[in-house]
Structure formats: structure tokens, C-alpha cells
Amino acid sequence: MQTIKIPINKLPGDGYPFYPKKTTILAHHLGNFEGYNLTKSQAIPFPITGQEIIDWNHDLQGEAEFWPSGDNAGLELIFRGNSKLMSNCNSHQLLEIDRILLELGDDSLSNYAKIYAAVNNGYTLQNITSNVIERENTFVFIGDCFYEMVRDAAWELFEMVNYELCNLVIKHPIDGLQFDCKRFLNSPSISSQEISTTHFKILIVTLN
């Protein structure tokens, strides 16, 4: 990451100014945000990018709060209603999310989901690293049908934790017995969560 000086200019809309300050450049585009200027008691009448939240000067531009507009599905997931994070986000949280994504290698929806899972398992954003994500043993499945996702996840994880038994079940099925995918994912050593978004469904599975 690098620091630069932002020149004085005007933002779109009614022209909130950018004031000269040192800032950190985000490595990822975190989507657009909506905002409310508490000092001026009015909504910010134009979309704000993640970088503009980082650059926002609360002393000169007014105290403000921001929340995801919904165009970045991964970020919306992290700040969704049943997350342990509040729906409003600040520059420190965005910087931490950007750092974690950088450590994980990309800003895929799967990595956002792993951050979401870690937060809801009790980690703060500041404490999440790629090593933490790896230790969490979190697997993410994305699709449009939970039935198929549960089936695929169960068989994939069954094969991973007990390849020989999985192979035996597939090659030598026993009459009257079948592999219960839902029950397998609800076993004591596995926790799973199904999440529906506007555009797709996410199944998050963690091996305890």
C-alpha cells in the first residue's frame, strides 16, 4: 500500500470537497456506498466509493456514516443483518477487509464469505489473517439451489474426511442404506449456514 496527497477538488452531486490529506490506497474496489452526513443532517446525494470513505475528512466534511449500497455482494454479506458487524461501516473496517482480501489473494465472493464466517465465529476484523482463515476450515459453496449445494458439499467433505469409506459407499452401496447429506452436514463436528442473497445462495460449511 502507498500513501498519496489528495488534491482539493469537488465530488459529484452537490460538491462535497475533498481536503488535502494523506490516505491509503485500497487494493480492491469494495463497491459503492450510501451515506448520511450527521453534521449537515442530510443524506449524501450521490454514491460514495470505498476509497472516498477512506479519504473522507469527518472534521472538515462533517461527521458521516456509510453503509453498502448492495452492488458488492461480498461486502453486503459481511455487513448483512445477521452478521456480528453493524450495517454501518467505517474506514478502519474497509481497510481491514482490504488487507485480508490481499492476504487471501483475491476479492472473490468465496473469500468475502470466509471473512463473514470468521467474524461470526468471534474474530474481529483486526485479528483475521490468512492463517486464521486456514485454521477455520471454512468451505464455501455458491449456487442457486440449496438442495444441490448441500448434496455437493456433503459428498465433497465426506470424501475429504474419509476417502476410503466414501469410495466404498459409492462403489458398493448397501440395500436400504443411503448417505444422508443433510444429516452429515448437521453432525457435531460440522457447522453449516445457508444464506440467501438477491442474486444467489451461499452455503458456508465449517469443520469444527
CA angle 142, 146, 148 (to 5 degrees): 85
Q: What is the pLDDT of residues 119-163, one digit of tens each?
A: 999 999 999 999 999 999 999 999 999 999 999 998 888 888 764
Q: What is the pLDDT of residues 8-63, one digit of tens each?
A: 344 444 444 544 555 689 999 999 999 999 999 999 988 999 999 999 998 889 99
Percent of the residues in the chain that have a pLDDT greater than 70, as a whole number: 78
Residue 11 to residue 18: CA distance in whole angstroms = 7
Sole residue written with cell 448492495: 70
Name the grid cell of 12.
459529484
Residue 89 to residue 53: CA distance in whole angstroms = 9
Higher pLDDT, 178 or 93: 93
Q: What is the pTM of this model?
A: 0.81
Q: Provide the pLDDT for residue 7.
A: 41
Q: Provide the pLDDT for residue 207.
A: 86
Q: Provide the pLDDT for residue 83.
A: 64
